[in-house]
């Protein structure tokens, strides 16, 4: 460097008004830019356009893990695949441990108990066969794409991971609320996550898959078509964790020494049924209450309405593995219940919230490889890689002694010769830390005495990167799913895909995915293409075989006995409302374990009709701007002079229209009927006469001119359709979750909300 390029700053005395300016020569001003450019590799420039390992070795196949194969069927992954291990391990360590930001999730404690020993024909695992046991569990629910600070109600897959603290050790079911996955091969997981996460150049978008990279990937990876259909359906925006199915996704095995091995899939069926938000509602809740699902879970537990699920299994004898037209080890496929029925095994109950969020919810660590005697692994290619990846990820995130953290620590004795490592908690006294040792401390346990038993399987074949023949078919099950949906569910799916692809500004991306959809269903592809301005296909890319499965629609999981437990009902009032009606309606709804909230023009006391300002009124839980209709499942408007005030309040009018547009139940009595009919202007709805005590239900709107307060205030003993009793009928309509007929008949399109 020349002397003239060197700038030496020396202290000088100057008046306050003096400004000292130091000018760096051009060579120094650009020095850092030049320095950084040394590490910039522009993928769009130059002739170097091929794939290599981190060591520079050119890679011929990055889509298939090296495995054993007989040419038709595939066996287990081979640990010697240095390229697969490098790719997965690098991906596992891409996120450094952060002090604040982790993936968004929430969790709760509870217990699991089997009904009887019916699963003993498959396994000897006591957690699945011993009805005298009550196994403690911790469940963590989560979203996938967004960061820890993202919103609860985004469209996304929901994690549903369960840790069983059994007497034989910890067992984890690391599942989702969707039974299939985007990829067949674990080696593709880094590619999928990179594609769905915010784009690397601008870290956009957060908590959303509506961008070029995600749809580019799934458009070029048709094995993702089935999972895309599920995520774009109502399953992607659940109403509550409590109203969400769970699936183990991967195929495991159950076995007994000397018995036949069975392939198994695990299912969680919610007691309250499977319900979802509508898209406009989900978008608004993301801003109005981004912690909506988390609060919902903890409020239910606090109120004693403990969330419950039934554990079901599907089991296939190993001898029947190849009897299907799909590969049962393919994680992009489900096992239709018509072919493999569900068997109810036991019940999961969540009854306790964490004491402190971080050490419990954030530090809980799940691994697909955590199994107990009687449960084993299949050659599911996704599971084989997850077993490696999940443990590797926990080592990176929490350290080698992650299993010693209180939330991860087993309740049974942990006795081994593992020692030391960062953040070691346990102090082990003694002189030996190896096996064999002269003191015979911690010897291996034979299977007959409870040691883990690996079912013997014959493996022979060629080691190669390959997928089985049945893994090449990608469209039969997406068709099956689409065909199985109710008309309103199909509409929601079409709208969702249209929304997502509308956010893709590269024509190649949305035109490619239109072709994928055309291989699922011709009408589906045409409607989406028309919405997004893509090329409308003139003939199907593939014939729709017309098959369906009733269990793939959410309607299939409606509770056997209608319920409104923990449903949130807003009661809209202003000064001059009918106090007797409000008391009666609240009493009846709360007798069925629903939760009612008074929403008024202000938070605090609202005065009833016929009472002076000094008379005792009722406390409003929230004001109209504080809690919008999106945060409730239903509305009720009592009669009274307050209707005049409500009619002049644009927020209240919009409040009701929004609830109607979201297909929610609405109840009204007396003069409130005129408010709905003449001021709110609900289209296509029939109302009861204001001077009649009869009850009318029309498109989920329940009205009566004269509410029998004495009758209404009684407990709701049974929720059923009853056109004569207002409260019974209103509760029944709420229990149906939504009135989607409004959408199908075009009524919601006529209301601005």
CA atoms within 13 A on the CB side of 708: 13
Least confident span in 205-214, 377-386, 419-428: 419-428
For residue 544, the cross-strand partners are none
Which uninterrupted H or E stretch holds 300? helix 292-302
Greater model confidence, 376 or 62: 376
pLDDT at res. 55: 73
What is the rounded distance in angstroms from the CA atom of residue 632 to the CA atom of residue 562? 18
pLDDT for 149-201, tens place per residue? Answer: 899 999 999 999 999 999 999 999 999 999 999 999 999 999 999 999 999 99
Compute the average pLDDT of residues 319-323. Answer: 97
Least confident span in 417-426, 634-643, 674-683: 417-426
Inform me whether the pLDDT recorded for 14 exceeds 50.
no
Distances (CA, A) of 92 to 100, 217, 249, 381, 395: 19, 20, 20, 18, 9
Question: If you average pLDDT over every residue of the chain, what do you get?
Answer: 91
The catalytically annotated residue of 176, 370, 408, 544 is: 176
Q: Which distant-in-sequence residues (6+ apart) come within 8 Å of 536 by Cβ? A: 526, 529, 530
pLDDT for 51-89, tens place per residue? Answer: 777 777 778 888 888 889 888 888 999 988 888 888 888
DSSP class of residue 607? P
End-to-end CA distance of the chain: 68
Integer-rounded Cα Rg, in Å, for the chain is: 30
pLDDT for 327-348, tens place per residue? Answer: 999 999 999 999 999 999 999 9
**Cα–chain-centroid distance for residue 218?**
19
Q: Is 224 helix (H, G, I), strand (E, B) or coil?
A: helix
Q: Which distant-in-sequence residues (6+ apart) come within 8 Å of 9 by Cβ? A: 22
pLDDT at res. 40: 64
Share of the chain above pLDDT 70, in %: 93
| 513 annotated binding-site participant | no
CA atoms within 13 A on the CB side of 353: 16
Reported in sequence order, the residue ranges of 436-583 that DSSP labels E, i.e. its strands, are: 462-465, 568-572
**Cα–chain-centroid distance for residue 343?**
24
pTM (two decimals): 0.90
Given the DSSP bridges, would you call strands 262-270 and 252-254 parallel, antiparallel or unpaired?
A: antiparallel
Going by pLDDT thresholds of 50, 70 and 90, the confidence category of residue 717 is: confident
DSSP class of residue 198? P
pLDDT at res. 13: 38
* C-beta separation of 632 from 568 below 8 A: yes
What is the rounded distance in angstroms from the CA atom of residue 377 to the CA atom of residue 174? 13
Inform me whether the pLDDT recorded for 231 exceeds 60.
yes
Distances (CA, A) of 67 to 75, 183, 376, 431: 6, 17, 18, 42
pLDDT at res. 100: 26
For residue 165, the cross-strand partners are 170
pLDDT at res. 141: 96
Backbone angles phi, psi at 595, to 5 degrees: -115, 130
* C-beta separation of 104 from 140 below 8 A: no
Greater model confidence, 295 or 402: 295
* C-beta separation of 178 from 237 below 8 A: no
pLDDT at res. 611: 67
Q: Is 733 helix (H, G, I), strand (E, B) or coil?
A: helix
Distances (CA, A) of 237 to 244, 298, 369: 10, 19, 29
Inform me whether the pLDDT recorded for 98 exceeds 50.
no
pLDDT at res. 35: 60
pLDDT for 446-489, tens place per residue? Answer: 899 899 999 998 899 999 999 999 999 999 999 999 999 999 99
Least confident span in 290-304, 419-433, 682-696: 419-433
Distances (CA, A) of 694 to 403, 677, 678, 689: 63, 17, 20, 8
* C-beta separation of 348 from 112 below 8 A: yes
pLDDT at res. 34: 72
Q: Is 737 a catalytic residue?
A: no
**Cα–chain-centroid distance for residue 399?**
27
Which uninterrupted H or E stretch holds 352? strand 343-352
Q: Is 102 a catalytic residue?
A: yes
Compute the average pLDDT of residues 272-291. Answer: 98
pLDDT for 729-746, tens place per residue? Answer: 999 999 999 999 999 999
pLDDT at res. 47: 75
Going by pLDDT thresholds of 50, 70 and 90, the confidence category of residue 18 is: very low
Inform me whether the pLDDT recorded for 17 exceeds 50.
no
What is the rounded distance in angstroms from the CA atom of residue 270 to the CA atom of residue 308? 6
Inform me whether the pLDDT recorded for 433 exceeds 90.
no
What is the rounded distance in angstroms from the CA atom of residue 670 to the CA atom of residue 639? 5
* C-beta separation of 417 from 433 below 8 A: yes
Neighbours of 11 (CB within 10 A): 5
Cis peptide before 179 (omega within 30 of 0): no
Sign of CA dihedral 738, 744, 746, 752: positive
Q: Is 657 helix (H, G, I), strand (E, B) or coil?
A: helix
pLDDT at res. 690: 94
Backbone angles phi, psi at 143, to 5 degrees: -95, 170
For residue 595, the cross-strand partners are 568
Q: How many residues does the chain have?
A: 753
What is the rounded distance in angstroms from the CA atom of residue 406 to the CA atom of residue 394? 15
The catalytically annotated residue of 77, 102, 275, 737 is: 102
Q: Which distant-in-sequence residues (6+ apart) come within 8 Å of 561 by Cβ? A: 719
DSSP class of residue 238? B
pLDDT at res. 425: 84
Inform me whether the pLDDT recorded for 240 exceeds 50.
yes
Going by pLDDT thresholds of 50, 70 and 90, the confidence category of residue 25 is: low
């Amino acid at each position: 460097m020349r002397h003239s390029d060197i700038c030496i700053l020396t202290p000088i005395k100057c008046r306050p008004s003096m400004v000292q300016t130091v000018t760096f020569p051009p060579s120094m001003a650009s020095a850092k830019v030049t320095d950084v450019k040394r590490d910039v590799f522009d993928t769009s420039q130059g002739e170097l356009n091929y794939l290599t390992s981190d060591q520079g070795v050119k890679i011929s196949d990055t889509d298939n893990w090296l495995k054993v194969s007989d040419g038709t069927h595939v066996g287990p992954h081979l640990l010697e695949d240095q390229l697969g291990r490098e790719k997965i391990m690098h991906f596992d360590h891409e996120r450094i441990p952060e002090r604040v930001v982790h993936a968004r999730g929430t969790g709760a404690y509870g217990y699991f108990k089997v009904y009887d020993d019916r699963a003993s024909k498959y396994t000897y695992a006591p957690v699945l066969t011993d009805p005298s046991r009550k196994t403690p569990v911790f469940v963590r629910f989560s979203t996938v794409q967004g960061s820890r600070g993202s919103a609860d109600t985004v469209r996304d897959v929901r994690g549903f991971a369960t840790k069983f603290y059994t007497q034989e050790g910890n067992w984890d079911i690391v599942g989702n609320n969707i039974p299939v996955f985007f990829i067949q091969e674990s080696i593709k997981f880094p590619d999928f996550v990179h594609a769905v996460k915010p784009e690397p150049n601008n870290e956009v978008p957060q908590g959303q898959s509506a961008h070029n990279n995600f749809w580019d990937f799934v458009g070029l990876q048709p094995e993702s078509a089935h999972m895309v259909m599920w995520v774009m359906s109502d399953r992607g925006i659940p109403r509550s964790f409590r109203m969400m199915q769970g699936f183990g996704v991967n195929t495991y095995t159950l076995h007994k020494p000397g018995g036949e091995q069975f392939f198994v899939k695990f299912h969680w069926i919610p007691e309250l049924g499977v319900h979802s938000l509508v898209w406009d509602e989900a978008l608004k809740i993301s801003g109005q209450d981004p912690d909506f699902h988390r609060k919902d879970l903890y409020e239910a537990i606090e109120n004693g309405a403990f969330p419950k699920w039934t554990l079901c299994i599907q089991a296939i004898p190993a001898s029947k593995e190849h009897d299907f037209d799909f590969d049962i080890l393919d994680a992009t496929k489900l096992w239709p219940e018509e072919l493999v029925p569900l068997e109810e095994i036991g019940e999961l109950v969540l009854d306790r919230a964490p004491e402190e969020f971080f050490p419990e919810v954030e530090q809980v660590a799940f691994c697909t490889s955590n199994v107990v005697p009687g449960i084993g692994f299949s050659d599911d290619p996704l599971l084989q890689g997850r077993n490696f990846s999940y443990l590797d990820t926990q080592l990176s995130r929490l350290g080698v002694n992650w299993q010693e953290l209180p939330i991860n620590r087993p309740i049974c004795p942990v006795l081994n010769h593992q020692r030391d490592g960062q953040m070691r908690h346990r102090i082990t006294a003694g002189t030996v830390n190896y096996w064999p040792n002269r003191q015979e401390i911690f010897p291996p346990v034979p299977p007959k005495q409870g040691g883990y038993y690996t079912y013997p399987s014959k493996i022979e074949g060629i080691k190669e990167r390959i997928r089985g023949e049945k893994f090449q078919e990608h469209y039969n099950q997406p068709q099956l799913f689409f065909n199985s949906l109710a008309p309103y569910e199909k509409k929601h799916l079409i709208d969702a895909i249209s929304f997502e692809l509308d956010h893709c500004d590269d024509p190649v991306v949305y035109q490619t995915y239109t072709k994928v959809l055309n291989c699922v269903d011709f009408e589906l592809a045409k409607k989406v293409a028309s919405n997004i301005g893509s090329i409308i296909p003139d003939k199907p890319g593939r014939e729709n075989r017309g098959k369906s499965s009733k269990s793939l629609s959410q309607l299939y999981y409606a509770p056997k006995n209608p319920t409104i437990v923990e449903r949130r009902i807003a009661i809209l009032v202003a000064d001059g409302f009918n106090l007797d009606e409000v008391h009666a309606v609240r009493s009846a709804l709360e007798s069925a374990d629903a939760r009612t909230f008074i929403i008024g023009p202000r938070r605090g006391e609202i005065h009833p009709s016929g009472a002076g300002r000094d008379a005792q009124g009722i406390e409003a839980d929230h004001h109209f701007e504080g809690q919008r209709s999106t945060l409730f499942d239903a509305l009720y408007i009592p009669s009274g002079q307050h209707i005049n005030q409500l009619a002049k309040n644009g927020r209240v009018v919009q409040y009701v229209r929004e609830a109607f547009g979201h297909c929610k139940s609405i109840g009204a009595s007396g003069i409130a009927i005129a408010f709905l009919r003449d001021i709110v202007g609900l289209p296509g709805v029939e109302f009861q006469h204001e001077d009649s005590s009869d009850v009318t239900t029309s498109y989920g709107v329940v009205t009566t001119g004269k509410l029998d307060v004495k009758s209404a205030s009684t407990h709701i003993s049974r929720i059923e359709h009853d056109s004569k009793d207002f409260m019974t009928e209103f509760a029944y309509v709420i229990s149906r979750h939504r009135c989607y007929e409004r959408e199908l008949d075009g009524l919601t399109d006529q209301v601005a909300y």
